[in-house]
Amino acid sequence: MTPDTLDVPKHVAELRAAQPDWEALGVRGRVRWVRRYADWLLDNADRITEILASEGGKPLVEAKIEFAVPVDIIKYYARNAEKYLRPNHPAPPNLLNRAKRVTVTHRPYPVVAVITPWNFPLGLSLMDSIPALLAGAAVVVKPAPATPGAVRAAVEGWAEIGAPPVFSVIAEGDDAGRALVEEADYIQFTGSTEVGRKIAQRCGERLIPYGLELGGKDPAIVLADADLDHAARGIAWGALANAGQMCTSVERVYVLDTVHDEFLAKLTAHVRGLRRDSDVGPLVTEDQFALVSGQLDDARAAGARVMVGGGTDPERRWIEPTVLAEVDSTMACVCAETFGPLIPVIRVSSEDEAVAAANATDYGLSASIWTSDRRHGAHLAARLEAGAVNINDAHANIFYFTAPMDGWKNSGMGGRLGGAAGILKYTRPQTVTKPRVSVSYQRHLLWYPYTRKRTELVGRLLRALAATGRRRLG
C-alpha cells in the first residue's frame, strides 16, 4: 500500500480498519504471514540490497549486513512471538482473591508508526515494524526523505505475498512524520535528539506511548593493558563503519597516557590503509557532509593535528577517514554528535579521568572499553552512563538482539529489541477477571448495602489478611 497522493489521516484510518482482523488471526496466523514475508525478502535480497547500497552510497557488504540482520530478527521474533505474547494467569495475591480466575492478555496498540532516519533506512524500519506486526498492530513506516527506496521496495513485498493490508510505507517528508504523530497510537522513532524531543512532547499531549532511539557520542576507553593492535582495528571499525553514520559510532577515544602514542601510531597506520568506497563510503546527505566537514575545519583551526585523512570531496560528499590528535573537549568533534568519519583521540592520565570525560556528555547510548583484564573492564563498565558497554569490541550489543538496546540520557527512551520486551512494548496488558464459582449478589461482601455487620466482617477479614502475627489480628 503506497499512497500516491498523501492523506495521512485517511491512510491511518484504513490501517485502523484492517487491524482488528489481523489481531483476530491470532499469533500463529500472524507468524505464518511474517514467515512468508521473510522468505520473500530473502528471494529479493539482491535487488533490495543494491537499492540500499546505491541510495546511501554504502559499501555493498554493509548493505548486505543491514539486510541480513533484520531478517534474522524477523525469524527470531517469529519463533518466539507465541511464547512472549502468551496470556498469563497471575497468582491471587491473597485468600479472598482465590474466588477469581484472572487472565492477562497482551493487546496491541492498533496503529504503530515507525519513523526512521537515513543511515540504516531498511534495517531500522524492519526491525521495529515486524515485532509490532507480530504483536497484532497495523504498522506504517515513514523512512527519511533521502533514502526511501529500499524501504519502499521491501514493504511492497508484504502486498505481493497477499498478506492483509496492515503494513504500509509513507515515503514522504518531515510533514508526513508530524502527521503520523497526530494519528497513530504508538510512535517508534529513530533519529535526532532534537526531533525526538518534539515527538515526545506531542505524544505527551496526546497521552500516547512512544519509543525513542536518538543520537549518541559514544566514547571508547583504551586502558594501559589493552592489546593495542586489536584496539586500533576495533576502534577504527567502530568509528568508520557506515562512514561513521551510526548512532553507536565511536566518536571519542580516551587513551591512557602510557600507551597513547603507540595506540595513536597503530590507529593512524590502520586507517591509512583503508580504501575509499569499498571500506568507507561517502556521507549520505549534503547536510551531513557540511556538518562533518565543518567540525573538521573547526578542529583544525583550533589546533587539532590531523594524523591521517583530512581530505574532502564535496561533489561526492566524501570525507577521508580522519584521525585527529591534540583535540580538547571544547571542540565540536569532541563535544557534539559528529555522525561521520572523524576519530578524535584524547590523552588521559588515569582511568578516573577517562570515566569522568566519557560521562561528560548529555548522550548515553553506548561505550567501549579496551583492556586485557575483562573482569576489570566489566567493573569499569558499571561506572559508565550508557545503555550498553562493549568490552574489546564496538557495536557488538546491537547485533545481540535478545538484549535491550536502550539509550540513556538524551540518547533515547523506551529502547528497542531485548527479547520479550521488544514485542511486548507494542501491546497493552488487558486483565480479565471471572468468578471461579457463581456467587449470588446477596453474598457479595463488597456490594451495597453497607450494613454494619458486613462492614465489621470485611474489616476483620482484611485485617486478618494483612496481619503477620496474632497480636495484630485485633
- Please pick, from the candidates 19, 80, 125, 190, the single residue that binds ligand NAD as defined by CB under 6 A: 190
- Residue 121 engages ligand NAD in binding (rule: CB under 6 A): no
Of 83-91, 192-200, 251-259, 366-374, which segment contacts ligand NAD by CB under 6 A?
192-200
* Interface mask toward ligand NAD for 423-452; x: CB under 6 A: ------------------------------
- Residue 339 engages ligand NAD in binding (rule: CB under 6 A): yes
Provide, rounded to whole angstroms, the least separation between the CB of residue 146 and ligand NAD. 7
Closer CB to ligand NAD, residue 308 or residue 343? 343
Q: Could you tell me how many residues make up the chain?
A: 474
- Residue 406 engages ligand NAD in binding (rule: CB under 6 A): no
Of 86-94, 117-125, 269-277, 369-377, which segment contacts ligand NAD by CB under 6 A?
117-125
- Residues 207-236 binding ligand NAD (CB under 6 A) are 213-216
- Please pick, from the candidates 198, 206, 233, 454, the single residue that binds ligand NAD as defined by CB under 6 A: 198
Q: Which residue is nearest to ligand NAD (CB)?
A: 177
* Interface mask toward ligand NAD for 145-174; x: CB under 6 A: x---------------------------xx
- Residue 142 engages ligand NAD in binding (rule: CB under 6 A): yes
User: Looking at the annotation, which residues are catalytic?
Assistant: 213, 247
Site residue total, ligand NAD (CB under 6 A): 31
Provide, rounded to whole angstroms, the least separation between the CB of residue 387 and ligand NAD. 9
Closer CB to ligand NAD, residue 127 or residue 163? 127
- Please pick, from the candidates 144, 221, 267, 396, the single residue that binds ligand NAD as defined by CB under 6 A: 144
Provide, rounded to whole angstroms, the least separation between the CB of residue 337 and ligand NAD. 6
User: Would you state the cell numbers that stand for residue 400, as one nine-digit string?
Assistant: 545481540
Closer CB to ligand NAD, residue 117 or residue 282? 117
Which residues of the chain form contacts with ligand NAD (CB under 6 A)?
115-120, 142-145, 173-174, 177-178, 181, 190-192, 195, 198-199, 213-216, 247, 337, 339, 365, 407, 412
